Copies of this chain bind each other. A is one copy, B any other.
Amino acid sequence: MSPGRVEPKAALAAEVWRLLLGYFLANKDRHAAMAADLDLTLAEMRALLSLEPETGQPMGSLAERWRCDASNVTWVVDRLEDRGFVERRAVPGDRRVKKVAMTPLGEKTRNELLERVHQPPEELLALTRTELSALRQGLGKLVPPASTG
């Protein structure tokens, strides 16, 4: 409350934000490299990671989840199907709907991808346990609970 003695909180927050931005930028290439490593495009990678392997989801729900147009879902699923990662399945109750389900190859690729994506980079492992705990504490309040997948 009494500025001058201590650093203003807004300035502190701004600095943290700039650090986060810098780290975002630095990691864009890393993700592209991970995708390329498995011979995937970034769109394929994103799609593969956000598909539920078990049940299969109707195309429409994917458009909502990926926040894109339905025609774009058709396009992406076409690519994924061409690569043998997913297949379209009819739904008994409503013959208009198609569910997108993962093939064994798709699931295998998804798991390899998850392993790489979740592997923390070197510089993170180089932090101390105390620093990591503090980051977890702070970041945990920033990130909406459901946005991990």
Q: Which residues of A contact B (CB under 8 A)?
A: 6, 9-10, 12-27, 29, 67, 117-121, 123-127, 129, 131-144, 147-148
Contacts and interface: CB of A to CB of B under 8 A. Distances in A.
Contacts of A133: 12
Contact of A127 (B22, B27, B141, B147): B141
Count of chain copies: 2
Pick the most buried of A10, A12, A26: most chain B CB atoms within 10 A of its CB: A12
Contacts of A9: 125, 129, 132
A5 to B, nearest CB: 12
16 contacts: A12-B133, A13-B120, A13-B124, A16-B124, A16-B136, A17-B118, A17-B124, A19-B139, A19-B140, A20-B139, A22-B147, A23-B143, A23-B147, A29-B67, A123-B142, A124-B142
A21 B135 CA distance: 13
